[in-house]
């Protein structure tokens, strides 16, 4: 079925969206049963800026020069569309304080860096969370056969991200599904010393220049003692170290922020991985599964 909303003609600029979302945040009243925008934003004719891709690969630890996109890079392409939805007046959760709690990615085939794609982003649902309300945002990347109005062609990559708005909820909270506990702590594979500029470098490569990631002063305005790393950077850095099959399902849960500068331990065993501090506090944990065609 054709998408009833007209396709976009260009990638939305992130900074104005962040400002709009910040301005509207005090007027939002989040709740799980709130109405939310059903719009499907579609951006056809997307091509990758190879210089920006190389900067992303360097800051995340992926090999540069490969024709295939890193497993997490399509998230960067779809993020401005997601921000347009989450910063609009009809989205019921305040953008300020919204926490990216998880991402699940399915890559159905290799995604060449030199291809042309159609990106679709929509809010899939709102759900109760023990700490408030969580929104699920779906991103799809298609190639070939785009129909008039968008949403045509084969899905080669897709993701589901959850974003949490913390607020008090009356009654008994509904448990949120989480990763099953590991049978034993994962062994440490490497120790990474992270510079205080990681957030700025990732922001320049991804376009996500949220103030909490840039400088100690701007992070303190939002209650953090220092700048914190982007959640998607932590996931990408772990997956760059681990590697992923061509057809794969990846899930990462963001447990606690990574303060910059800092030192973290990358741990992995079989299909699982984690990022934690020296005291054992987990920042990120997840898994990588091959997908059978």
Above 90 in pLDDT, residue 36?
A: yes
Residue 30 exposed, middle or buried by CB count within 10 Å (0-12, 13-18, 19+) = buried
Residue-wise pLDDT tens digits, 256-282 = 999 999 999 999 999 999 999 989 899
pLDDT band at 58 (very low <50, low <70, confident <90, very high): very high
Whether the Cβ atoms of residue 239 and residue 248 lie closer than 8 Å to each other: no
Of 174, 4, 159, the residue nearest 71 (C-alpha): 159
What's the mean pLDDT when you consider all of the chain?
Answer: 91
Above 60 in pLDDT, residue 227?
A: yes
pLDDT for residue 65: 83
Residues belonging to the chain: 293
Instruction: Summarize the confidence of residues 61-73 as an average pLDDT.
Output: 94
Instruction: Summarize the confidence of residues 178-195 as an average pLDDT.
Output: 81
pLDDT band at 292 (very low <50, low <70, confident <90, very high): confident
Query: What tokens does 156 get?
Result: 């080669």
> Any idea what DSSP says for residue 33?
T
In three-state form (DSSP H/G/I as H, E/B as E, the rest C), the secondary structure along 196-249 is CCHHHHHHHHHCCCCHHHCCHHHHHCCCCCCCECCHHHHHHHHHHHHCCCCCEE
3-state secondary structure of 26: helix
Q: How many CB atoms lie within 10 A of CB 245?
A: 13
3-state secondary structure of 27: helix
Q: Is the dihedral of CA 154, 245, 252, 64 positive or negative?
A: negative
pLDDT for residue 259: 97
* Distance, CA of 104 to CA of 160 (rounded, Å): 5
Above 90 in pLDDT, residue 20?
A: yes
Q: Which residues contact 220 (CB under 8 A, 6 or more apart)?
A: none
Instruction: Summarize the confidence of residues 107-121 as an average pLDDT.
Output: 96
Whether the Cβ atoms of residue 31 and residue 171 lie closer than 8 Å to each other: no
Residue 34 exposed, middle or buried by CB count within 10 Å (0-12, 13-18, 19+) = middle
Query: What tokens does 149 get?
Result: 């109005």
Above 70 in pLDDT, residue 147?
A: no
pLDDT for residue 190: 97
H-type alpha helices, the chain: 14-24, 50-60, 73-86, 198-206, 216-220, 231-242
Above 80 in pLDDT, residue 183?
A: no
Cis peptide upstream of residue 261 (ω within 30 degrees of 0)? yes
> Any idea what DSSP says for residue 23?
H
pLDDT for residue 171: 62
pLDDT for residue 66: 86
């Amino acid at each position: 079925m054709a998408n009833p909303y007209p396709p976009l003609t260009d990638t939305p600029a992130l900074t104005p969206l962040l400002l709009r979302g910040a301005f509207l945040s005090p007027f939002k009243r989040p709740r799980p049963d709130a109405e939310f925008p059903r719009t499907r934003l579609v951006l056809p004719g997307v091509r990758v800026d190879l210089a920006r891709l190389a900067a992303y690969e360097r800051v995340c630890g992926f090999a540069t020069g490969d024709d295939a996109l890193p497993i997490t890079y399509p998230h960067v392409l779809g993020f401005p569309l997601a921000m347009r939805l989450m910063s609009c007046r009809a989205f019921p959760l305040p953008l300020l304080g919204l926490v990216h709690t998880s991402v699940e990615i399915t890559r159905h085939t290799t995604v060449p860096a030199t291809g042309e794609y159609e990106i679709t982003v929509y809010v899939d649902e709102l759900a109760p969370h023990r700490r408030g309300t969580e929104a699920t945002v779906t991103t799809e990347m298609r190639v070939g056969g785009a129909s008039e109005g968008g949403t045509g062609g084969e899905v080669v990559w897709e993701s589901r991200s959850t974003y949490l708005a913390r607020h008090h909820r009356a009654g008994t909270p509904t448990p949120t599904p989480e990763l099953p506990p590991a049978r034993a702590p994962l062994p440490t594979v490497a120790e990474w010393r992270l510079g205080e500029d990681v957030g700025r470098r990732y922001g320049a490569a991804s376009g996500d220049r949220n103030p909490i990631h840039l400088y100690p002063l701007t992070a303190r305005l939002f209650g953090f003692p220092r700048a914190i790393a982007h959640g998607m950077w932590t996931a990408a850095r772990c997956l760059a170290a681990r590697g992923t099959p061509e057809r794969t399902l990846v899930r990462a849960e963001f447990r606690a922020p990574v303060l910059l500068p800092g030192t973290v331990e990358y741990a992995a065993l079989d299909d699982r991985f984690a990022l934690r501090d020296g005291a054992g506090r987990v920042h990120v944990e997840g898994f990588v599964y091959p997908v059978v065609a």
